[in-house]
Amino acid sequence: MMTPRIEIDLKKISHNAQNLRELYAARGIGLFGVTKAVCGNPAVAGALVDAGIDTLADSRVQNIVRMRQAGIEANFVLLRSPGPSQAESVVREADISLNSELSVVDLLSAISTEKHTIHKIILMVELGDLREGLMPTELLRAAERVQRKNGVLLAGIGTNLACFGGVTPGKENIERLSSLACEIEDKFGVKLEYVSGGNSANYDWFTSTEDVGRVNNLRLGESIYLGRETLRRRPIPGLFTDAFKLVAEVIESKVKPSKPYGEICQDAFGNVPKFRDRGPMNRALLGIGLQDVVVKGLTPRLDIEVIGASSDHIIVDAREEELEVGKEIEFELNYGALLSAMTSPYVEKKTIDQPTFNMKNPCPRERNLHGN
Ligand SMILES: *Cc1c(COP(=O)(O)O)cnc(C)c1O
């Protein structure tokens, strides 16, 4: 089989998605399945739909197009606030978009009016994390303006935490979101379809809060794919944390010194490296590097140590392992590694959907989609 490749266990992904869907649904919270970490991979999108998630969200219009063209039947949400230059394609490809700039909403309105369609708007509110969002004091006026526009429908409000500023979703900020939703509903006599409380980082809030308030939606990526909440990266009970695995191949294996010798200057990336002399070492080179994956985010499944990487190589201390040339080495991936490997054209995407051991639930309906 080709290396490097990422092996994607669709049954495990579907299992995770279904468990999370049921967990959150028990308290009235629906999910958007976020596909950006898998680059809109159609097979993965199909696994989410099989698990009962009917709305998929991505930050890139291109990924939405990719899923649509592969025949994925779902509602599509654009997660990243669109820029003016994207307005046309957003109206064409997405049913809903998250927005924080009224000038862009005006463009979306003009375009969808011209096309005789309705584009749904979720207004994002800034509640501390300082990435996207209107300031709470601006929200009511913005909501009013969206409501007056043709071609767009105020479908809801949302917030995003724990992304840029690392701000924890908790009682205070989520209650603020709920009360803003109530204010809009009271003032304008509308019912918001979505009060979108956050992402995979909201798990601890959800499992500890007595009252979810008006929150009825979360946008989940990482917890579906990697089976963990994202504040401390603890595994979520009942989920698989190993739905993805990266496989690389040994291309050189030798005993060599542990410390570079000769005059030391900058490495390939402009750093001046420092190494400790640990005597002769079993070293191996793997045929995968920074053009394939964020190497920092990889954890080998063998007892070996990644000691460095260049664009095209990972260098490992093989310790006691026999790493003969041609041997396949498996890694677990964190979010950054997953995102980069799924995006790199050099990493083959291999979907696997054989029955999985230890499945607690009956396997979801089969789907015959093997997009790449
Ligand atoms: C990426 C993203 C998400 C999903 O985050 P996860 O941590 O993968 O659950 C949700 N909302 C927005 C706006 C995003 O950009």
Over residues 212-236, the pLDDT tens digits come to 999 999 999 999 999 999 999 999 9
pLDDT at 363: 37
> What number is the average pLDDT over the span 349-366?
57
Banded model confidence at residue 358, pLDDT cuts 50, 70, 90: very low
pLDDT of residue 361 exceeding 50, the answer is no
Pocket test for ligand 1, best of 219, 222, 224, 230 (most atoms within 8 A of CB): 219
Banded model confidence at residue 268, pLDDT cuts 50, 70, 90: confident
- Name the residue at shortest CA distance from atom 13 of ligand 1: 79
pLDDT at 372: 35
Pocket test for ligand 1, best of 199, 223, 231 (most atoms within 8 A of CB): 199
Which ligand 1 atom is the nearest neighbour of the CA of 98?
A: 13
Determine the distance separating the centroid of ligand 1 and the alpha carbon of 35, expressed in angstroms. 9
Which ligand 1 atom is the nearest neighbour of the CA of 223?
A: 9
Determine the distance separating the centroid of ligand 1 and the alpha carbon of 177, expressed in angstroms. 17
Determine the distance separating the centroid of ligand 1 and the alpha carbon of 8, expressed in angstroms. 20
- Name the residue at shortest CA distance from atom 15 of ligand 1: 79
The mean-pLDDT minimum among 106-110, 165-169, 290-294 falls in 165-169
Spot the catalytic one: 11, 12, 36, 187.
Answer: 36
Which ligand 1 atom is the nearest neighbour of the CA of 158?
A: 13
Determine the distance separating the centroid of ligand 1 and the alpha carbon of 19, expressed in angstroms. 18
Q: Are 340 and 298 in contact (CB under 8 A)?
A: no
pLDDT at 248: 98
Note the Cα 192 to chain centre separation in Å: 25
Banded model confidence at residue 274, pLDDT cuts 50, 70, 90: confident
pLDDT at 39: 98
Which ligand 1 atom is the nearest neighbour of the CA of 335?
A: 8
| Residue 191 to residue 268: CA distance in whole angstroms | 56
Catalytic site includes residue 36: yes
Any residues with Cβ below 6 Å from ligand 1, and which? Answer: 34, 36-37, 59, 79, 98, 160, 199-200, 219-223, 230
pLDDT of residue 356 exceeding 90, the answer is no
pLDDT of residue 18 exceeding 50, the answer is yes
Determine the distance separating the centroid of ligand 1 and the alpha carbon of 36, expressed in angstroms. 8
Over residues 188-219, the pLDDT tens digits come to 999 999 999 999 999 999 999 999 999 999 99
Determine the distance separating the centroid of ligand 1 and the alpha carbon of 221, expressed in angstroms. 6
- Name the residue at shortest CA distance from atom 8 of ligand 1: 221
pLDDT at 354: 57
pLDDT of residue 371 exceeding 90, the answer is no
pLDDT at 42: 97
> What number is the average pLDDT over the span 310-332?
97
pLDDT of residue 344 exceeding 90, the answer is yes
pLDDT of residue 117 exceeding 50, the answer is yes
The mean-pLDDT minimum among 16-20, 76-80, 256-260 falls in 256-260
Domains and CATH numbers, the chain: 9-226 (3.20.20.10), 244-352 (2.40.30)
Which ligand 1 atom is the nearest neighbour of the CA of 132?
A: 13
